Each structure stands twice: as structure tokens, then as C-alpha cells.
Amino acid sequence: MSSSSQDRTVDVIIIGAGPTGENVADRAVQGGLTAAIVERELVGGECSYWACMPTKALLRDAAALRAAKALPAAGKAITGTLDAEAVFARRDQFTSGWKDAGQVEWLTGAGITLVRGHGRITGTRTVTVTDSDGTTTNLQARQAVVIATGTSALTPPVPGLDEADPWTNREAAAATSVPDRLAIIGGGVVGVEMATAFSALGSQVTLISRSRLLAGVEEFAGEHVADALRTYGVSVLLDRDASEVRRDDTGEVHLTLSDGAEVTADEVLVATGRVPNTKDLGLEHVGLTPGKWLAVDDALAVVDDSGRLEDGWLYAAGDINHRALLTHHGKYQARALGDLIAARARGEEPDLSTWGRHAATADERAVTQVIFTDPEVVAVGHTAASAEAAGIEVGVVDYDLGSIAGASLHADGYRGQARMVIDEQRKVLVGFTAVGPDISELLHAATIAIVGEVPLDRLWHAVPAYPTISEIWLRLLETAGRDR
């Protein structure tokens, strides 16, 4: 093992080349700074290779097939089942066979320096990178160090689980065969999306959830998803935990649940949340505790219990700051932060006012999410419960999505529901959730209404085209009443 060492100085060092890190670096370079990005695995991060893109590729064929089956004539034309090999082959195109040459080319083209290896903070504005053959590079930042190291799968301390060699999101996203029986622990977003994908690919899926499904969104959305999963043959077990797991000599996995029930499967997928990649990051050198999420201020500068850390050279963006574990919010933070670091380097005060250029206000007011189940779930901003908890005078308006003309044209037996959450004092929308087939593109209209704080009176003038599913907006407004 060689262990030579070299030194480099740049304006900004970013640790982690996931979607967040890439975008911080890009904005900083566009702002006139030099940037080095440190990556220990693949440029593109979890999202590109083991999360967003491959899992959505696993889901897409099943969604197209279901959409056709929901129409009598098109449905008659379907004579076969999903070809799992072809689904995996298409997924492989999206991960480029787990090679990052394309993303490296983009980085280089954007003028960003890539340093491969594991990065650790070793002092003020200093990062030491150790590559796979032990060579170290000492990076010094003139302006800032940004931590964008993302997360890994959390494996709960269930007796026998580790020894049973469970799948995490990585094995599920990169699967090359379909297990006959798949048990999934966790009824959050990963659990329900993977139950949808693998049941469509032919697995007999058992989904074990300690609470209702999709506890982070409005209850009705999780109920629609649970009903649909059951109709697709998934065994949905709610309000139960796995209390013991054992893989026997034949390779079968046996799960004992908290109510004493037994589940037997060929693979078990753990989908119980994420842990921050902060364990081996040198955080002790700046007085922080390794292994924890990183708290940040409005400027995304890392803070400790006593306020901003040192003189504010250390920032954290994306999953690692636990604001919103979503790629698009990581990238949103990244755009604000890259611009902020460049502004501070020019001696300018950043604009951290609400909705200001360098503020990530949407993380607090308008987190957007699409859950690619069947039916799909879209959500932005508050749920009724979170709005109430935030002290808002809440108005809730529900409407049956299936009774919209566009929805009934879209598919026979269309089922769905939509809810808008209103701030009754300000007469603006503060939340929107819907569940129904093929509604992912419905989300952005709600996002614009919330971010733009469009008065309800004015929303009446946003005329949805007939006969589209977007007419849900008209029905929600009519239900709310024009003189509300």
C-alpha cells in the first residue's frame, strides 16, 4: 500500500458527489470560484445508482401496463406479463451499469475538480482525502467546506436480522432476479414503492409496517395505497414489527412478528429509514459528534449547541442536514448555498430573507414529494395535522378525484382523493395532497400556488382545461365556496 501525499488549495471543497454536492460545486464555479469535490464511490451518489433513478425504472413498466389494463380495449391487447429481464436491462441503462464516466465528464465540463477517495475534515477549512490505495491528498479551502455526504440504510436492531443478510435499498435497486417471496420491513416510502415494484415483477410480497402506511403524508393517501397493494396480492401487515429474523440452511428467511405471526420469504428488504453518513468524517476535529445529523442555520452553515460553528466556514446540504430527504430539495439547497458561498467570497451579504435568493424557504413551507406507487401520491406543504401543529387557522377541503370528468376518461374505475389545506386567515393554500393513478404531474400547480401565496380568489381565474384531471382544482375551489 503506497501512502504518498499531495496538497491542493481551492476556494470550496465539497465532500460527497451526490446530486447535492454536484450542484453546490456547479453554482460555486458559476459564481467565479474554484471547487474540488470529493467522492469515495460513484459520482452521482445514492440517487443515481441505488435510489431515485433505478427504483423508478423498476416501477415504470408496471405503471404503463396497469394504465393500459384499466382501459377495456387496450387491456384486451395485453396478453403477457412483465418481462423482468427487460425491466432490469432498462434499469441498467439508467445506472450506466453502475459506472460514473458520464457524470465525471459532466463535472469536468463544468470546471469542477474531482478528487476520488474518502474525505475527512482534519482541521479548519482542511479536508484529507484517502483513496483506495492509501494515497492521501490534503485539500485546503480558501472559503468554505460543504458536507453533502448523504445517508445509508438504517438496519434496526432486530435479533438475527444482520446475520440474515437482508437487502437494503441497494440490493433492491440493483436486483438481477425476482425473489419468489419478498418480505419488506418498513411501511414508509421505500417499503411501499418496492412492494409495488416487486409484486408487479412477480414476487409474493409481505409488507410489515409498525404503523399505518406512509405515516408522513395524509392518512387517506396511505389507505388508498394499502387497498391497491392488497388488490395486487401484497400481504399488508399493519401495526406490527419484526421481532426476530432467521435465515435457515436452505436459504429461507423466517420472520417472527410482534404479534407472534410467522412470515417465510426468500429475501427480506429493510426499509426502515436512513442514517447520516457522518461517522468517519473527522467531525470530532471541529467539536461535533460523529454519527449524528448535522444541524444548520438559515444559511446552511453547520451549528452546534452554542450557535454557528467557528467562523461559519463549514456548511451542510442535502440529506445530511435532515431538512428534507429528497433529491430535488438537496439540489434546491445546493443552488442557494453555492450562490451564497460565492456572494460571501465577493464580500456581499447573502439574501436570507423569506424566499430570498440564498434562503431555502421551500424546505419549511413547500416540501414537494411524489411517491411512485400505484396509485401515485403527491404532496406539498402542510398536511392538515402539521398545519394545525404550526398554529395555522386550518381549513380542509376534500374532493373525490374519481368523479372528475378527466379522471373517468383516463381509466375505468378511477379511484382517488385530493385535499387542499387552507390558511383561513390569509386565504391562501398551505398544503395539497392527492392520491390517484397518473397524477404526478398534478403536483407542480399546487407547488406554485403555495410558493406564490396565490390568494384563493385569484386561483378561481386559473382555469383548468376540460377534460383534464387538473379540473380537481375547480372542484376543490367550488367545495371551499367562493365567499369563504
Ligand X SMILES: Cc1cc2nc3c(=O)[nH]c(=O)nc-3n(C[C@H](O)[C@H](O)[C@H](O)COP(=O)(O)OP(=O)(O)OC[C@H]3O[C@@H](n4cnc5c(N)ncnc54)[C@H](O)[C@@H]3O)c2cc1C
Ligand Y SMILES: NC(=O)c1ccc[n+]([C@@H]2O[C@H](COP(=O)([O-])OP(=O)(O)OC[C@H]3O[C@@H](n4cnc5c(N)ncnc54)[C@H](O)[C@@H]3O)[C@@H](O)[C@H]2O)c1
Q: Which does 166 bind (CB under 5 to 8 A by kind): ligand X, ligand Y, none?
A: none
Q: Is 192 annotated as a binding residue?
A: yes
- The verdict on 190 binding ligand Y (CB under 6 A) reads yes
Count of other CB atoms within 10 angstroms of residue 311: 9
- The verdict on 371 binding ligand Y (CB under 6 A) reads yes
- The verdict on 38 binding ligand X (CB under 6 A) reads yes
- The verdict on 18 binding ligand Y (CB under 6 A) reads no
Interface with ligand Y by CB under 6 A: which range of 94-102, 129-137, 367-375, 403-411?
367-375
Handedness of CA 216, 322, 392, 359 (dihedral sign): negative
- The verdict on 52 binding ligand X (CB under 6 A) reads yes
Cell of 122: 482534519
For residue 188, what is the DSSP state?
Answer: S
Residue type, 105: E
- The verdict on 244 binding ligand X (CB under 6 A) reads no
Site string for ligand Y, 256-295 (x = CB under 6 A): ---------------xxxx---------------------
- The verdict on 11 binding ligand Y (CB under 6 A) reads no
Cα gap 134→186, rounded to integer Å: 38
> Strand 394-400 to strand 417-423: parallel, antiparallel, or no bridges (unpaired)?
antiparallel
Q: DSSP 3-state assignment of 2?
A: coil
409-416's contacts with Cβ under 8 Å and 24+ in sequence apart are 409/467, 410/70, 410/437, 410/438, 410/469, 411/67, 411/70, 411/71, 411/437, 411/438, 412/70, 412/71, 412/72, 413/70, 414/70, 415/224, 415/375, 416/224, 416/375
Least separation in angstroms between CB 154 and ligand Y: 7
- The verdict on 187 binding ligand Y (CB under 6 A) reads yes
Interface with ligand Y by CB under 6 A: which range of 13-21, 183-191, 406-414, 438-446?
183-191
Element (H, E) at 397: strand 394-400
Q: Which does 148 bind (CB under 5 to 8 A by kind): ligand Y, ligand X, none?
A: ligand X
Q: Contacts with ligand Y: how many residues (CB under 6 A)?
A: 23
Least separation in angstroms between CB 47 and ligand X: 3
- The verdict on 372 binding ligand Y (CB under 6 A) reads yes
For residue 407, what is the DSSP state?
Answer: H
Interface with ligand Y (CB under 6 A), residue from 193, 266, 374, 376: 193
Residue 54 backbone class (left: φ over 0; alpha: ψ -120 to 50; beta: rest): alpha
- The verdict on 319 binding ligand X (CB under 6 A) reads yes
Contact set for ligand Y, span 153-172 (CB under 6 A): 156
Report whether 331 contacts 19 (CB < 8 A).
yes
Q: Is 190 annotated as a binding residue?
A: yes
Q: Which residue has cell 395485453?
A: 78
- The verdict on 188 binding ligand Y (CB under 6 A) reads yes
Element (H, E) at 332: helix 327-345
Residues at the binding site for FAD are 56, 119, 319
The contact set with ligand X (CB under 6 A) reads 15-21, 38-41, 45-47, 51-52, 55-56, 118-119, 148-151, 169, 173, 190, 277, 281, 318-319, 325-328, 330
The contact set with ligand Y (CB under 6 A) reads 156, 185-191, 193, 210-211, 215, 241, 271-274, 325-326, 369-372
